[in-house]
Amino acid sequence: MAILKIAKMGHPVLREPAEPVTDPTTLEIHRLIQDMAETLVDAEGAGLAAPQVHVPLRLMIFHVPSHRETEGGETIPLTVLVNPQITPLSDETDEDWEACLSVPGLTGLVPRWTSIRYSGVALNGEPIERVAEGFHARIVQHECDHLDGVLYPMRMTDLSTLMFMEERRHYAEEQEDHETADEFA
């Protein structure tokens, strides 16, 4: 097990589409996932995509922590998703704050599909198919974007909401808005 170095915005590995994984059951992939899981815990993040640790493969890990249970949402334990695909279930989108381990210190309001179906393959090669809403849908979209060379600021429609986390916290305190949304992904 090892804590991996996280690529930052500007690194080419974050700007290019990643390659499909041909066999998720290999020892090499399992070791990579173990290291990614350790890296995610160390970074106190909610999700991590392989390109963020300099590996240009289409795989990601994420979880939905209990304090993120939302409208009809649920806690999702650490999930490994290989070669994921996303289908929006309606035209409805929702804006919420996002942050990214590859864009440290910043946060911004990002529109995402409210409700999606996603599919992919688990580490044992079994298919995964789930319907997701709220934070669960958001984090899967955020991580899938990493596999296509897209970072969340590229999805923002109002760049005036791109700000430093510490400034947003300060502003939120002034507004007596203590809601936090600071998981990195």
Residue 21 vs residues 1, 35, 56: alpha-carbon distances, Å: 21, 17, 10
Tell me the three state secondary structure of residue 113. strand
143 is catalytic: yes
* Window contacting Ni ion (CB under 5 A); options: 59-67, 95-103, 108-116, 165-173: 95-103
> Is 140 an interacting residue with respect to Ni ion (CB under 5 A)?
no
> Is 7 an interacting residue with respect to Ni ion (CB under 5 A)?
no
> Is 185 an interacting residue with respect to Ni ion (CB under 5 A)?
yes
Q: Name the residue with the smallest CB distance to Ni ion.
A: 100
Residue 90 φ/ψ, nearest 5 degrees = -160, 180
Q: Which of 80, 81, 100, 110 binds Ni ion (CB under 5 A)?
A: 100
**Sign of the C-alpha dihedral computed for residues 24, 27, 29 and 30 taken in this order:** positive
Tell me the three state secondary structure of residue 76. strand
- Of 98, 133, 143, 183, which one is the catalytic site residue? 143
Give the nearest distance from C-beta 53 to Ni ion in angstroms.
11
Give the nearest distance from C-beta 158 to Ni ion in angstroms.
19
CA angle 100, 141, 163 (to 5 degrees): 35
Give the nearest distance from C-beta 26 to Ni ion in angstroms.
25
Task: Count residues binding Ni ion (CB under 5 A).
Answer: 2
Give the nearest distance from C-beta 151 to Ni ion in angstroms.
7
Enter the tokens of residue 63: 């979880």
Rg (alpha carbons) of the chain, rounded to whole number: 16
* Window contacting Ni ion (CB under 5 A); options: 32-40, 72-80, 96-104, 118-126: 96-104
> Is 109 an interacting residue with respect to Ni ion (CB under 5 A)?
no
Enter the tokens of residue 75: 């806690």
CA 32, CA 130: separation in Å to the nearest integer?
Answer: 24
| Active-site annotation, residues | 143
- Which residues contact Ni ion by CB under 5 A? 100, 185
